[in-house]
């Protein structure tokens, strides 16, 4: 119930701030929530797979799935990806090259590119 209230409030705020109908703002918010779920699911699958070299595939897949929902999903994918990469480059110390490669995979998926471009040989088919 609380989630529905937040969705309605977010829709009203979006509608008022950018002068779009409440229905379109509601759809954007709904797609954004679905996109966030797609990103979480890709992350969870990446952790479950624990497969060396599959990182970029899961980046591309999460962004692809989220963006397929529409502008709200693509927005959520961009925000989540950018935040993760900022944290990774600032805190984890993995380096600029890894961040650049991750962002390339993120953008590829978000723009509708086939995530299988980054799929490593031998990754189980359930992913």
* pLDDT recorded at residue 89: 75
Domain ranges within the chain, ordered by starting residue: 28-118
What fold is seen in the domain 28-118? Topoisomerase I; Chain A, domain 4 (1.10.132)
* pLDDT recorded at residue 8: 62
* pLDDT recorded at residue 17: 59
* pLDDT recorded at residue 29: 87
- Whether 67 and 80 have beta carbons less than 8 Å apart is answered as no
Region of residue 53 (phi > 0: left; psi between -120 and 50: alpha; otherwise: beta): left
Sequential pLDDT tens for the chain (127 residues): 575 566 666 666 655 655 667 678 788 889 999 999 999 999 999 999 999 999 999 999 999 999 999 999 999 999 999 999 888 777 766 778 889 999 999 999 999 999 999 999 999 999 9
Range 69-73 contact pairs with CB under 8 angstroms and sequence separation of 24 or more: 69/31, 69/34, 69/35, 69/38, 70/27, 70/28, 70/31, 71/28, 71/31, 72/27, 72/28, 72/29, 72/30, 72/31, 72/32, 72/33, 72/34, 72/35, 73/31, 73/32, 73/34, 73/35, 73/38
* pLDDT recorded at residue 86: 86
* pLDDT recorded at residue 16: 60
- Full-model pTM: 0.81
Q: Which value, to the nearest 10 degrees, does the dihedral of the CA atoms of residues 21, 26, 31, 36 take?
A: 130
Q: Strand locations in 30-100, DSSP E?
A: none
């Amino acid at each position: 119930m609380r989630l529905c209230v937040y969705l309605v409030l977010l829709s009203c705020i979006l509608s008022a701030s950018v002068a779009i109908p409440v229905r379109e703002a509601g759809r954007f918010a709904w797609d954004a929530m679905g996109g966030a779920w797609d990103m979480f699911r890709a992350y969870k699958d990446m952790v479950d797979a624990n497969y060396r070299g599959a990182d970029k595939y899961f980046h591309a897949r999460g962004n692809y799935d989220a963006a397929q929902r529409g502008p709200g999903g693509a927005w959520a994918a961009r925000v989540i990806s950018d935040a993760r990469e900022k944290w990774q480059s600032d805190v984890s110390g993995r380096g600029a090259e890894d961040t650049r490669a991750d962002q390339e995979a993120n953008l590829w998926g978000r723009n509708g590119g086939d995530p299988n471009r980054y799929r490593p040989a031998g990754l189980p088919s359930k992913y």
